[in-house]
Structure 1
Amino acid sequence: MLVIRPITAADLPALLQCAEESGHGFTSLPVNEEILANRIKHSEQSFASEVTHPGPEGYLMVAEDTETGEVAGTTAIEAAVGLDNPFYTYHLSTVVHSSRRLNVHNVVKVLTFGNDYTGVSELCTLFLRPDWRQGLNGRLLSKCRFLMLAQHPERFDKTVIAEMRGVSDEEGHSPFWEWLKEHFFSIDFTLADYLTGIGKKGFIADLMPKLPIYVNLLSPEAQAVIGEVHEKTRPALRLLEQEGFTCRGYVDIFDAGPTVECDIRNIESVRHSKVCQVEIGQPSGDTDCIVSNTSFSNFRAAVDKVDVMDGVAVISAEMAAALQVQQGDQVRLIVQ
């Protein structure tokens, strides 16, 4: 069984392994031991803090295999992006150029550089190692965050976003970045992505074009990937779309991958999650549920068969141990 829990300092080697396996374009997991150690420390402080409104807290969690003790993946929520480090995006919009005298009417797309998402909460750092990409493990890793949002809304903004990894090849070449590099940056995508991941974003403000970019001036290859996702990211995007997330034209400034958003109150799993009382026993049905305890600093989540009826959740002793709950405690769950 996989159990989601807050990361600890002892998980640093496993987190570094996840960073190495995640590949190019995964900005939130740079292959840098010092940066990852600092992120773990920040997460530990965030989980231990008492807050009444979202701030610069970052909540990083891991999925642990209870049979082997191995870390199978990571998942995280940033409470409010852009407070400590700027959070840049491009916004894709439409402008019209027309002249009645010449009978010319042109509709063109433009990309506008900005910080419109400053202060919103972000779902991030979702990575499941290949050996565990089966069953409901991916859904657990993603949806456990919705249980946290539902149970502790005071810690998060009303708007929740997720950046989707854009198109790049196995060598780290992004068609969108290739055009930007040629005209403005003169550094490789992998280096730009890495610098962003370790928080060194000053070069963006220094070198990024400040005026809107007309999309029809980009190379055909760059135009083709605007708003498109990496093939490994498609399952994650589909899951978020099922939850009610949509793209409102915001894309990543490096690979042009879409940023999707949803009001926290409209997220399907937040709306339909239930708080139930624990009864430890042997579930007789075949209903799968993602279940979390109601603690924050000691957050736990897992997925298994559960009988749900009249505000009572019958869970196995194994799940009760994984969630660190006892008979009569409360849990929050999502029926799958």
Structure 2
Amino acid sequence: MSYVIRAARPDDLQHLYEMAKLTGGGFTNLPPERRALKAKLDRSADAFARADDTLVDELFVLMLEDTATGEVRGTCQLFTQVGQRHPFYSYRLGTLTQHSRELDRTFRAEMLALTTDLEGSAEVGGLFLHPGERAGGLGLLLARSRYLFIAAHRPRFADRILAELRGIIDEAGGSPFWDGLAGRFFGMNFQDADQFNGVHGHQFIADLMPKHPIYTAMLTETARAVIGLPHPSGRAAMRMLENEGFAFENYVDIFDGGPTMTARTDRVRTIAEAREARIVAIDSDGGEEALVATGHLTKFRCAFGQVRSVGDGIVLSTACAAALGVAEDDVVRHVARVL
């Protein structure tokens, strides 16, 4: 089978909706609500239609398609600059150190402070791969295609980039972090808040949450235990982010306490190591396993392929060339599959 990453289209709404129903909750960027998903596709269409290479608040949605059957099996999203329409809130986990002479003791208190430090960053998110396709590296293709898209449209993305990982959700679909902190202020369980959040965003949380720092010692033990931890299904994604150069710098999601990973955009490994080259030949005689991308905006496509360097150009594998719709003398961007 051959798979390709392509720009989302309006007729992908049903595909997105079917995938959204499989996420299991807490997946903010892919809510199982048609109106919210259509709004995402409309916003993405506007971004793809804008030809001006300037930095504004935009959303691009990409889809993973089986070229043999036309079935859509995954999706991912890119935000060019968050926090421009509404404040982008996070909790920053910090420590307050105090010393008592009388007791001759030093006390260190861990605190959560509401912050907009990450406002203005680009964001990669909304990655979902159909459960039946979680083999063969397709998750890697989805994740890293986003960086090749950024490389191809670099002026349209901020200089810092973040990725929010879903936090811990229990077997009943609840969030220990929500129950121990935010839920106390809203009279709303996590499932209801999750649904509202997916449609309307989490501005309502920021509006009603206390703005002063919160001592983690005042939270329940179950809430404290999950701060900064990814959902088990997100551990592999966290490792991929770390391989790309992202780091956890004590920022957590105000909704479920999941970790926020950050990096400098130009230092993301796939972006830094990607190279442009002209195709001098197409054959199936082998080469280095690579991710290969071509095209601008709606014509963007990305797939796995084999690449051999020949002088200043490359020889590209036949199947990859067919998936991308490229021929000799076309220019592609490629990066090694193994980091």
TM-superposed deviation, 1:109: 0.7
TM-superposed deviation, 1:182: 5.1
CA distance in 2, matches of 1:257, 1:324: 39
After superposing the two structures, state which structure 1 stretch, 232-241 or 188-197, moved more.
Answer: 188-197
1:243 aligns with 2:247: no
1:293, 1:331 within 8 Å by CA — same for their partners in 2? Answer: yes
Task: Give the SS at the match of 2:284.
Answer: coil
Change (3 A) 1:189 1:280: farther
Partner of 2:22: 21
1:85, 1:199 within 8 Å by CA — same for their partners in 2? Answer: no
After superposing the two structures, state which structure 1 stretch, 57-66 or 307-316, moved more.
Answer: 307-316
CA distance in 1, matches of 2:68, 2:54: 37
Partner of 2:12: 11
Task: Give the SS at the match of 2:141.
Answer: helix
Instruction: State the one-letter code of the partner of 2:187.
Output: S
RMSD: 1.5
The TM-score normalised by the length of structure 1 is 0.96
Partner of 2:272: 271
Partner of 1:52: 53
Change (3 A) 1:216 1:171: same
Partner of 1:160: 161
In structure 1, runs of 5+ residues without a counterpart are none
Partner of 1:204: 205
TM-superposed deviation, 1:138: 1.1
1:81 aligns with 2:65: no
Aligned pairs (5 A) from 1:96-245: 96-181=97-182, 183-245=184-246
Instruction: State the one-letter code of the partner of 1:64.
Output: E
Task: Give the SS at the match of 1:22.
Answer: coil
1:19, 1:30 within 8 Å by CA — same for their partners in 2? Answer: yes
CA distance in 2, matches of 1:202, 1:236: 26
TM-superposed deviation, 1:76: 1.1
TM-superposed deviation, 1:115: 1.6
TM-superposed deviation, 1:208: 0.8
2:31, 2:195 within 8 Å by CA — same for their partners in 1? Answer: yes
Task: Give the SS at the match of 1:297.
Answer: helix
TM-superposed deviation, 1:33: 0.5
Task: Give the SS at the match of 2:283.
Answer: coil
Task: Give the SS at the match of 1:15.
Answer: helix
Equivalent residue pairs, number:
336
Identity of aligned residues (%): 38
TM-superposed deviation, 1:55: 1.2
Instruction: State the one-letter code of the partner of 1:246.
Output: A
CA distance in 2, matches of 1:21, 1:237: 20
TM-superposed deviation, 1:211: 0.8
1:55, 1:80 within 8 Å by CA — same for their partners in 2? Answer: yes
TM-superposed deviation, 1:333: 0.7
After superposing the two structures, state which structure 1 stretch, 13-22 or 177-186, moved more.
Answer: 177-186
1:281 aligns with 2:282: yes
After superposing the two structures, state which structure 1 stretch, 236-245 or 285-294, moved more.
Answer: 285-294
TM-superposed deviation, 1:207: 2.1
After superposing the two structures, state which structure 1 stretch, 3-12 or 278-287, moved more.
Answer: 278-287
1:245, 1:260 within 8 Å by CA — same for their partners in 2? Answer: yes
CA distance in 2, matches of 1:94, 1:202: 26
Task: Give the SS at the match of 1:198.
Answer: helix
Task: Give the SS at the match of 2:297.
Answer: coil
Partner deviation per Cα, 1:279-300 (whole Å, 9 max, x = no partner): 3422323521100004223110
CA distance in 2, matches of 1:55, 1:225: 34
2:305, 2:319 within 8 Å by CA — same for their partners in 1? Answer: no
In structure 2, runs of 5+ residues without a counterpart are none
CA distance in 2, matches of 1:59, 1:257: 23
TM-superposed deviation, 1:66: 0.5
